[in-house]
Amino acid sequence: MSLKYDFTGKVALITGSSSGIGAATAQLFAKSGANVVVTGRNADAVAKVAKQCSVVSPKQLPALEVVGDLTNDEDCNRLIETTVQTFGKIDILVNNAGAGIMAPIDATDYMEKFSLALKTNLNSVVYMTHKCVPYLAKTRGNIINISSIASKKSGSTGSSPYCMSKAGINMFTKCMAAELGPKRIRVNAILPGAVDTNFMTIFDLPKDLIGQIYSNIGQKYPVGRVGQSQDIAYTVAYLASDSEAGFITGSIVVADGGDIVANVSYE
C-alpha cells in the first residue's frame, strides 16, 4: 500500500516547477489536494505542468501559473504577491529552482559563473525565504530546500561554483530551522543524488549518450538505478507533512540511492 498524503486546504509554492523535480513535486501536491503554484521561466512549460496538476487534483483545482526568473527580485516579489492575492496564504515553500553552473577556476569567466551560481542557486533561496516568512509564520508552515549531494562530496574539475552554492543551502537551512523555530516554521533540506531530469543538458550531449551516462551511474548505486523526479517529490511531501514529519526540522535529508556511502565516482 502506497502512502497517501492529504494537503487539502494547503497552499504549496514550488519554485522551478516547470520541469523535473519541481514539476513532479507540484503534481504530487496537487494530487494530494493542495492549491499549487507552478513557476518557471518558460511560459509554455509552466502552462503544461499547471494543466497536469489540475488533471490529477481530486477537485480539479486550477494551479496558479507565474512566469518569472528567480534571479530577479521583482519577479520573486510578484510571485509571492500573486500567490497571496490568489489564495490568501502560503503554507509550504519548496525552494527547488536552480541550475548546474560549472567553470574551472582558471577559466576567464570563472567569477562571472561563480556569481551566477550563487545568485541562481543560493540567493534565490535566501530571498524567497526572507520574503515568505511573514506568511509562513501565520500558517505555521514549512520550507523544504532542494540542495544536492554535490554539497557533501568533493567535486570534479569545474564543479566548484555549483558545489559551493549548494553547500550554502545546507547551512542556511540549519540556521533558519533554529531562527524560525519560535515562529513554528520548520525548515529542512533534501540532497538528491543523480536524478534523471534535464540537468545533463548543460553539457550539450546527445540524448542517447545522456541516457547511457545515467545508466552507468545507476549501476554503481547500491539501489541499482539513478533517481526519478518522483523519488524526490515523495521526500518533499513527507517533510512537508506535519502529521508525518512534524518533529523534523533542521535536517539535511540525503536521497541519493546510496551515492555518498558507496563513494560513487562520476569520472
Active site (annotated) includes residue 162: yes
pLDDT in tens, 149-181: 999 987 778 999 999 999 999 999 999 999 999
CB 263 within 8 A of CB 156: no
Rounded alpha-carbon distances, angstroms, from residue 142 to 5, 53, 157, 195, 239:
16, 21, 35, 24, 9
Is a pLDDT exceeding 90 seen at residue 56? yes
Domain assignment of residue 108, given as a range: 11-255
Answer whether 104's CB lies under 8 Å from 157's CB: yes
Residue 53, domain member (yes or no) = yes
Given the residues 135, 162, 221, 234, select the one marked as catalytic. 162
Is 261 inside any structural domain? no
Distance CA(193)–CA(176), nearest Å, equals 23
Tell me the angle at which helices 229-240 and 20-31 cross, rounded to the nearest 10 degrees: 50
pTM metric for this prediction = 0.94
Tell me which of 27-36, 97-106, 257-266 is least confident. 257-266
Rounded mean pLDDT, 194-209: 71
For the cut 80, the answer to whether the pLDDT of residue 206 exceeds it is: no
Dihedral of CA atoms 154, 160, 162, 168 in degrees, nearest 10, equals 80
Could you tell me the CATH number of the domain that includes residue 208? 3.40.50.720
For residue 60, give the C-alpha cell. Answer: 480539479
* Number of domains, the chain: 1
Residue 1 has a pLDDT of: 35
Give SS3 for 53. Answer: helix
Stated as kind and residue range, the H or E segment containing 87 is helix 73-87
237 found inside a domain: yes
pLDDT of residue 186: 98
Q: What is the pLDDT of residue 2?
A: 52
533561496: which residue's cell?
Answer: 125
Residue 244 in domain: yes
In a domain, 196, yes or no: yes
Q: Examine residue 267 and state whether it is found in any structural domain, yes or no.
A: no
- For residue 6, being part of any structural domain is answered with no
Confidence of residue 199 (pLDDT cuts 50, 70, 90): low
25-45 tens-digit pLDDT: 999 999 999 999 999 999 999
- Amino acid 201: pLDDT: 59
Local confidence band at 203 (pLDDT 50, 70, 90 cut-offs): low
3 belongs to a structural domain: no
